[in-house]
Structure 1
Amino acid sequence: MRILPFLSLLSLAAACVPLGTPITSTTPGTQKPPEYYADKSLRYQDYTYSPDVRSVQCYTGTGQANEVFQPPVVPLGQSPAIVLEFDVLGEQSQRFNAKLIHCDANWQPSVLTDMQFLNEINEFLITDYRVGTGTKAPYFHYKTRAPQVKLSGNYLMVVQTPAGVPLLSRRLLVYENQVQVGLAPGIVIGGKERFTMQQLDFSVGYGSVELVNPAVEVKVVLRQNFRWDNAKYNLHPTFVRDTERRLDYQYFNFENAFPGLSEYRYFDTRSTQTVGLGVLHVNPRAVPVTTVELQQEVTRNLTAYNQYVDSNGQRVFESREYGNGATNADYADVTFQLKADQPAPGPVYVFGALSDWQLRDEFKLTYDETKQLYTGHALLKQGYYNYDFAVAGAQGTAPNEVYFEGSHYETENQYDLLVYYRPPGTRADLLIGYKAVDMNSRQ
């Protein structure tokens, strides 16, 4: 699923509109914020703790036009910085600070002190903020950069109030190339799975570094489109080639395979004066915010693959009328529609970067048996969005995106492999190797 370098998307909000209104609500502001925001305890994952915080983007600041699509992954000691941007709804600016938490390979806080991975005090006041201009929904836009660190590995960036209440957290990766990572598209060994799954073959060469018991101590994580919710963990080498100093990972039960899915659905709300792609109707005169009704979608399961360029579930923010998406893009009440002959085997959600790759109550759809239609709405910032429809499964399992989206081996996706190792006598899991590849690249 290819990235569109020039497009933008929106995200939920409006201070004059009830915040945190579930997507199932028929009128913005008639319901209390969902329970998602009730627990303020820190989670070591990408998470938003306040319904006032919207449109979060965390990416590597490369200075290029499409930098917002670059995941928060940077090499140790080099210049690209990880950038965090977000909106806070309301008419009054607030004081926030950020800090880093060093984590182990399992995303649990490590025992390192701040000075063991930082050269400065671990509290960074966010001073770059601007007010939203010419918008119905009042908000302030905040932007900050992560500081350079001394060790590779996993870091959690936390934005919080002066009282220490978390507002949002984002996972960051800092890597070094101590090992040679081989990662390439493979061929699925199976029956019908070869038409629906995508396999990644990979290896770890450690000829240039001394690793103690690498078959046990080296840990790898395989991700699709830089997501954490369906990442592959606990992958062990199938062959240890001591003479070649290489670990090979070759599986036969799809341990290293993902459903290819379909190219992501999309809609364009960069303009409130015209109807964009995927949009059925726009009412810029609606109060308190503009309303947008998207076109009715249908299931794509059991249909042929349809090729087009997408942004792998991401979104960007932009206002075509006024320019700068950071502070000129407004918020709109966006209605989603999905035609279905019968209810799905579980709750259905709008899913993607717009929901932090989580099944959030705000994006849950309701089913009307008379109309045979799933509907719901959310407040989203002007822009260009990718998304799909996901069905919730058993607790702790990845959402079922195949049910409505289908799956094809031809789909364009991005994959990356993370290689961790903890040297003997140390207390930190280092990210000693990293590689990303495109599957079915259109370039």
Structure 2
Amino acid sequence: MVYFYKFNYLDTLFEIFFSYIPNTKRLSIAFIAISIIGGQYVWSNNPVQTASNIKTVQLYKKGWSMSYPIINLYPQEQLTLEFDDFAYDSKNYQYSIIHCNSNWEESNLMQTEYVDGFMPNAIQDYQYSFNTTFDYIHYTLDFPNRDIKLLLSGNYIIKVFELGNEDNPILVRPFYVSESLVSILPRIKYTSNSNFRASMQEVNFTIEHPNFRINNPRDEIKVVLQQNGRWDNQIDDLKPLFIRHEELDYSYNRENLFDGGNEYRWLDIRSTRFAPEHVEGISFFDPHYHFTLFPDKYLSQKPYFYREDFNGKYYIEVKENRDPMIEADYTYVHFKFPVKAPYVDGHIYVTGGLNDWQLNDANRMEYNFTTRMYELSMLLKQGFYNYQYHFLENNFTKAEVERFEGSFGQTENDYIIYVYYQSVGDNYERLIGVNISNSLKYSMKK
């Protein structure tokens, strides 16, 4: 599971108690103890979880499938959650919403303090797939809704589970609710640090708060920076460099640097009849379709070239049918990347929105000594995808993009700035502002 239990002051007691219990029984006993004592879930800095039978999970602002899962508290907007369940019969899926702090730890709040309504609630909107080689059931949920309304800003997670099995969710996804109480003015540019100017981007910004009082900015304000929705390279430890009247300035020249990376590669599997560019062949091995891609090339060895992309996102579409949500089929996509010899210091991953920017076994490539290529087969729903090859060195959590994709200061990227506030008397972190900016909309000069 993604989450684990935070024991607090009982750590030593559990350690002594478990030392006398066989390993095979410790986990179940731990959860019994948790249910008796009560406590807090920690979802880590990457609160994403998906069961093996759940595919194509999308969470976005209602009406805009390519948006980030960020909504305003006032006036309250809606999010849409969509996912496919590889099953023949519908299940009684329920959902709950949990308020978290900026580190994705469950807040010390009662449910009634952040939700108006009762939980869990049922997901009642579903459809069966039609004329596809894979049978699946497509579920849709719009929230907040008449059953629940959100009362506070901050980080949230939504978890979906079968009725009576809340401790084993089939999916967990994060989202954000903002109060929009401050103005965030970004300045994305080439870094002034000459050593990184060609390959990195500098994200400076100012927080203006003329109508919101902040007494101690260094302690009360926390800022998180994300690039294209990635989790592994986010920056979350910046303090204001200059504090002026009603203004906080974050004009660093090293602490706020991101690898520029490169424009994303693209994959078009909207049609099973016609092979687009980059697809070597489409095969049907009863009962499923297979897309074999041409071996990808090192973009790090080429100069930068602008290609319009979705910054890692994807959308579902099928050319031969009308309703992509239930008529788009699932196909096996075979990625290949030529490397003379396998790496011993880390692993290659295919990353992007197609796997929620995760770095795990499901998108880790394996080396084929016969073909002398790294290879990976992924099951994807028909649509148009962005992806990249990232390298994760052993014992590291931040992936390297430059080795295969290159890294350029002029690359077009989205940057999301989250501003959290918690005073001494507050018992939760408020999300008082969010800014989503694109690097091409700002001057990249000095």
| TM-score, length-scaled by structure 2 | 0.85
Deviations 1:195-225 (A, max 9, x none): 1111111121222112221122100001111
Question: Whole-Å Cα distance in 1 between the matches of residues 383 and 150 of structure 2?
Answer: 33
CA gap of 1:394–1:151, structure 2 versus 1, over 3 A, is: same
The one-letter code of the counterpart of 2:321 is Y
> Contact conserved, 1:314 with 1:352, CA < 8 A, in 2?
yes
Segment drifting more, 169-178 vs 392-401: 392-401
Please report how far the alpha carbon of residue 161 of structure 1 lies from its aligned counterpart in structure 2 after TM superposition. Answer: 1.1
Tell me which residue corresponds to 1:206: 209
Q: CA RMSD in A?
A: 1.8
CA gap of 1:436–1:239, structure 2 versus 1, over 3 A, is: same
Please report how far the alpha carbon of residue 263 of structure 1 lies from its aligned counterpart in structure 2 after TM superposition. Answer: 0.6
Question: Whole-Å Cα distance in 2 between the matches of residues 295 and 230 of structure 1?
Answer: 29
Structure 2: gaps of 5 or more residues: 1-30, 32-40
Tell me which residue corresponds to 1:146: 143
Question: Whole-Å Cα distance in 2 between the matches of residues 409 and 183 of structure 1?
Answer: 16
Q: Does 1:311 align with 2:349?
A: no
The one-letter code of the counterpart of 1:181 is I
DSSP 3-state at the match of 1:362: helix
Segment drifting more, 157-166 vs 364-373: 364-373
Tell me which residue corresponds to 1:155: 156
Question: Whole-Å Cα distance in 2 between the matches of residues 386 and 42 of structure 1?
Answer: 31
Q: Does 1:279 align with 2:276?
A: no
DSSP 3-state at the match of 2:108: coil
DSSP 3-state at the match of 1:221: strand
Deviations 1:47-93 (A, max 9, x none): 234100000111111x3xxx111000011122531111000002111
Deviations 1:69-128 (A, max 9, x none): 100001112253111100000211111011110001211001111111111112221001
Tell me which residue corresponds to 1:16: none
Question: What does 1:51-90 correspond to in 2, within 5 Å?
Answer: 51-61=52-62, 63=63, 67-90=64-87
Tell me which residue corresponds to 2:402: 402
> Contact conserved, 2:217 with 2:240, CA < 8 A, in 1?
no
Q: Does 1:197 align with 2:210?
A: no
Q: Does 1:134 align with 2:135?
A: no
Please report how far the alpha carbon of residue 172 of structure 1 lies from its aligned counterpart in structure 2 after TM superposition. Answer: 0.7
Tell me which residue corresponds to 1:247: 248
Segment drifting more, 393-402 vs 304-313: 393-402
Q: Does 1:121 align with 2:118?
A: yes
Question: What does 1:21-420 correspond to in 2, within 5 Å?
Answer: 43=43, 45-61=46-62, 63=63, 67-147=64-144, 148-162=149-163, 163-164=165-166, 165-241=168-244, 244-253=245-254, 255-283=255-283, 285-344=284-343, 345-420=345-420
The one-letter code of the counterpart of 1:91 is Y
Segment drifting more, 333-342 vs 304-313: 333-342
> Contact conserved, 2:156 with 2:175, CA < 8 A, in 1?
yes
Deviations 1:222-263 (A, max 9, x none): 11112222110110111122xx2211112232x111111111
Please report how far the alpha carbon of residue 333 of structure 1 lies from its aligned counterpart in structure 2 after TM superposition. Answer: 1.2
> Greater strand percent: which structure?
2
Deviations 1:357-398 (A, max 9, x none): 111212221223453311121111111111111111243521
Percent identity, please: 32
Structure 1: gaps of 5 or more residues: 1-39
> Contact conserved, 2:339 with 2:374, CA < 8 A, in 1?
yes
> Contact conserved, 1:299 with 1:340, CA < 8 A, in 2?
no
Question: Whole-Å Cα distance in 2 between the matches of residues 339 and 410 of structure 1?
Answer: 27
Deviations 1:319-352 (A, max 9, x none): 1111222100111111101122343442111111
Decide which structure has the larger Cα Rg and report it.
Answer: 2
